[in-house]
Amino acid sequence: MGNDHRGLGRLVAALYFMSPVAVPAGEWSGQVGGEYRGFFEAPLFPEQHDSYFSAFAQPEYRHAWDNDKQRIAFVAFGRVSQYDEARTHADIRELNWQKSGDGYEWRVGVNKVFWGVTESQHLVDIINQTDLVENPDGEDKLGQPMINLTLVRDWGTLDFFVLTGFRERTFPGQEGRLRTAPPVDTQQAVYESSRGRRRVDYALRWHQSLGDWEVGLAHFSGTSRDPRLLPGIGSDGMPALIPYYDVIDQTSLDAQVTKGAWLWKLETIRRSGQGPAYAALTAGFEYTLSGILDSGIDLGLLAEYLYDDRGTTATTPFQDDVFAGFRLAFNDVSSSEALLGIIVDRDSDARIVSLETNRRFGKSTKLSLEARWFTGIPATDMLYSQRRDDYAQLELAYYF
């Protein structure tokens, strides 16, 4: 955990205790759980393992006062993992103060922000760094220190962000699976900006709901969240990949049209500053069949096209790929859900299949099963070093 949060923590604490209103006690909640991740094939590298146990906790504290116009939130996360030192980690996901007024919202502190509409990847979502060591799907995010002002007007919602301090992407360690070869040495990260992690980044976003349409336009100017990985020598004298964080400008558009059971989705970006300027997009649909076979079960059919105009030189494996997905919502007492997805590379035989299911047991326990398969990955693909990392993961979490 970095030191970047300390100043903000003090600020939030000061604001909280300076409040003139008598403050009733807030509320603790959160989850604790255990996870088992087992790999179907022997590892590619001798220092890797066949399976990994880990335990995690995510305590949350929330409190509102001033007639619910002011709020603080604190969300911490920590995991202890067998073998993989990089996966034993902790983070402050949220530590912020929010104030709502007539047509505006202030959010100051460490927070998380999501932008976008598509399911297979999140091109437009750029405010928070990815906590990649948590899950290769990139859905887990690190807390980002920020000052955010939201203006709500008739012509849309305008968000201003001052991002005070940079969070480095996490990567699996030497003994971890689902990693690059050679592994990433995060200790040696290089920044284009002379201010390094202390560079202040900016973002602006306009969003509007118009009838069936949701439209978002945004611009980000700052240190790229996804580093280029350059070959080098690690701190241990062995070959390593060194993260290089460019300063970029990214303009994005996201849109969704909702027509009956159809959701049509588009995300597109144009980025400069990370090699030659390029464009990328994700576009597709989600169609929901309600109550299939008179069962009360909903079946969602998803399809998306993933494109990056850099082609094979892209820093993403998804430069010309098709995603197809099936989502089952059982609408039962235990809120059972399942999502099966496959991403097919149109230029090779590379396929990633992923399955995510979960259900609740009793009042507060949730069981999640997740599995991924990587097949036909060619030597030129970024995921080549993960070709033997098919895995299944079982997680049991208790919510309080």
Partner 1 sequence: MLKRLLPSLLILIAFNAYAETPEEKGLAIAVESDRRDQGYGDFTVDLEMVLKNRHGDESRRKIRVATLEGKADGDKSHTIFNEPADVKGTALLTFSHKVDDDDQWLYLPALKRVKRITSSNKSGSFMGSEFAFEDIGSQEVEKYTYKFLREEACEGQTCLVMERYPVSKYSGYTRQVVWMDKAEYRPLRIDFYDRKGSLLKTLTWKDYKRYLNKYWRADEMFMLNHQSGKSTLLRWANYKFGNGLKDADFNQERLKRG
DSSP secondary structure string for all residues of 341-352: EEEEESSSS-EE
Tell me the three state secondary structure of residue 386: helix
The yes or no reply on residue 63 touching partner 1 (CB under 8 A) is no
How distant, in Å, are the alpha carbons of 251, 353, 372 from that of 375? 34, 8, 10
Distance CA 35, CA 16 (A): 36
ω before 182 within 30° of 0 (cis)? yes
In the bound state with partner 1, the residue whose beta carbon lies nearer, of 103 and 378, is 103
The yes or no reply on residue 351 touching partner 1 (CB under 8 A) is no
The CB-of-260 to partner 1 minimum distance in angstroms stands at: 5
Rounded to the nearest 10°, the torsion over CA 43, 233, 129, 34 is 30
The yes or no reply on residue 24 touching partner 1 (CB under 8 A) is no
Angle at 170 between CA 180 and CA 8, to 5 degrees: 170
The CB-of-148 to partner 1 minimum distance in angstroms stands at: 11
How distant, in Å, are the alpha carbons of 42, 48, 155 from that of 52? 13, 10, 51
The yes or no reply on residue 256 touching partner 1 (CB under 8 A) is yes
The interface region with partner 1, picked from 185-193, 219-227, 329-337, 383-391 by CB under 8 A, is: 329-337
The CB-of-332 to partner 1 minimum distance in angstroms stands at: 5
Binding mask 158-187 for partner 1 (x = CB under 8 A): ------------------------------
The yes or no reply on residue 34 touching partner 1 (CB under 8 A) is no
In the bound state with partner 1, the residue whose beta carbon lies nearer, of 207 and 228, is 207
Distance CA 98, CA 247 (A): 29
Residues 310, 278: contact at Cβ < 8 Å? Answer: yes
What's the DSSP call for residue 86? G
Select from 120, 150, 274, 282 the one that contacts partner 1 (CB under 8 A): 150
The interface region with partner 1, picked from 7-15, 113-121, 273-281, 320-328 by CB under 8 A, is: 113-121
In degrees rounded to 5, what are phi and psi of residue 386?
-110, 15
The yes or no reply on residue 298 touching partner 1 (CB under 8 A) is yes
SS3 content of the chain, % helix, strand, coil (to 5): 5, 55, 40
The yes or no reply on residue 214 touching partner 1 (CB under 8 A) is yes
* Residue from 313, 213, 315 nearest 266 by CA: 213
Select from 288, 315, 316, 348 the one that contacts partner 1 (CB under 8 A): 288
Select from 31, 193, 221, 268 the one that contacts partner 1 (CB under 8 A): 31
Q: Residue 229 has which token pair?
A: 């990985």
The CB-of-116 to partner 1 minimum distance in angstroms stands at: 8
Distance CA 249, CA 17 (A): 39
Select from 366, 381, 386, 389 the one that contacts partner 1 (CB under 8 A): 366
The yes or no reply on residue 296 touching partner 1 (CB under 8 A) is yes
The yes or no reply on residue 105 touching partner 1 (CB under 8 A) is yes
The yes or no reply on residue 114 touching partner 1 (CB under 8 A) is yes
Tell me the three state secondary structure of residue 172: coil
The DSSP bridge pattern shows strands 365-375 and 297-308 to be: unpaired
Binding-site ranges for partner 1 (CB under 8 A): 29, 31, 62, 68, 71, 98, 100, 102-103, 105, 112-114, 117, 139, 150, 152, 157, 207, 209, 214, 256, 258, 260-263, 288, 290-291, 296, 298, 331-335, 360, 363-364, 366, 397, 399-400
